Amino acid sequence: MASLLSSPLIARFLSLGAGISAALLLVGCATQPQSPQYNAELDDLLKELRSEYAYRTQSDPLGSYLANRGLTDRTFSYAREQLGTGPHAMAGEALNLLGIKYTFGGEDPNSGFDCSGLIGYVAEKSLGLKLPRSSAELARIGRSVPRDELRQGDLVFFNTRGARYSHVGIYIGDNKFVHAPRTGAVVRIEDLSVSYWQQRYNGARRLDVNDAQLASR
């Protein structure tokens, strides 16, 4: 499988200059603010990289992840840096887990994740919240969000097993979400506009980190 490293997108990425390299390689270090045009160009390019990554992981998710792991780590480090704290931090934490194997009942990176196990792990790591374990229970917390108002970190729900809210993922922006899909697959990015997900979409919920009910679970 061809690596994303040979993609024309990378040539564009590198052409943005040393400023991007600093943003990607000096994760956690303070950097000088860039112009709105510069940041917009970065955001647009990251959207394209996410789309290409998602496309290439459909047929061979684990092989693609291993082939492109270096690129993934560098490009998504910038995205994670920009997501900040609060509910958005869930999206950033989820990107850290791309490529982890699916395991039914799994709830940590060592053993693998199922869909709700991934949500629970990300919420605890990024927000300090202990969430209910099943996707159906998760669909009853937070507040409902219309699809056209989705934000990074929102939980998106699907009917994939003949029951509403039987699957859940984390929205990361640009109509994409991260999830642990099924046995034999890995944590990966999907596109909500794909007909399979459109037909099974059940809605979204937004966690409130200040919600005492959530914090006490």
Q: What is the pLDDT of residues 73-84, one digit of tens each?
A: 444 554 455 554
Pairing of strands 155-158, 112-113: unpaired
From the list 108, 86, 100, the residue with the least C-alpha distance to 179 is 100
Q: Which of 50, 88, 167, 176 is catalytic?
A: 167
Q: Which of 115, 118, 141, 187 is catalytic?
A: 115
Output the pLDDT for position 89. 86
Question: Has 179 been annotated as catalytic?
Answer: yes
CA 106/CA 53 separation, integer angstroms: 24
Output the pLDDT for position 75. 45
Output the pLDDT for position 168. 98
Output the pLDDT for position 101. 97
CA 60/CA 135 separation, integer angstroms: 26
> Residue 57 contacts by C-beta under 8 Å, 6 or more apart in sequence?
64, 65, 188, 189
Contact of 12 with 45, CB cutoff 8 Å: yes
Q: Which of 50, 56, 179, 188 is catalytic?
A: 179
CA 217/CA 215 separation, integer angstroms: 6
Question: Has 115 been annotated as catalytic?
Answer: yes
From the list 173, 180, 196, the residue with the least C-alpha distance to 48 is 173
Grouped pLDDT means (10 residues each) for the chain, 217 residues: 48 46 35 51 59 53 51 48 62 93 96 97 93 96 96 96 95 95 96 96 88 46
Contact of 82 with 120, CB cutoff 8 Å: no
Contact of 160 with 167, CB cutoff 8 Å: yes
Tell me, yes or no, if the pTM score tops 0.95: no
Question: Has 88 been annotated as catalytic?
Answer: no
Output the pLDDT for position 48. 59
CA 206/CA 173 separation, integer angstroms: 14
Q: Which amino acid is at 191?
A: D
Domains annotated on the chain, with CATH: 1-83 (no CATH), 85-217 (3.90.1720.10)
3-class SS at 179?
strand
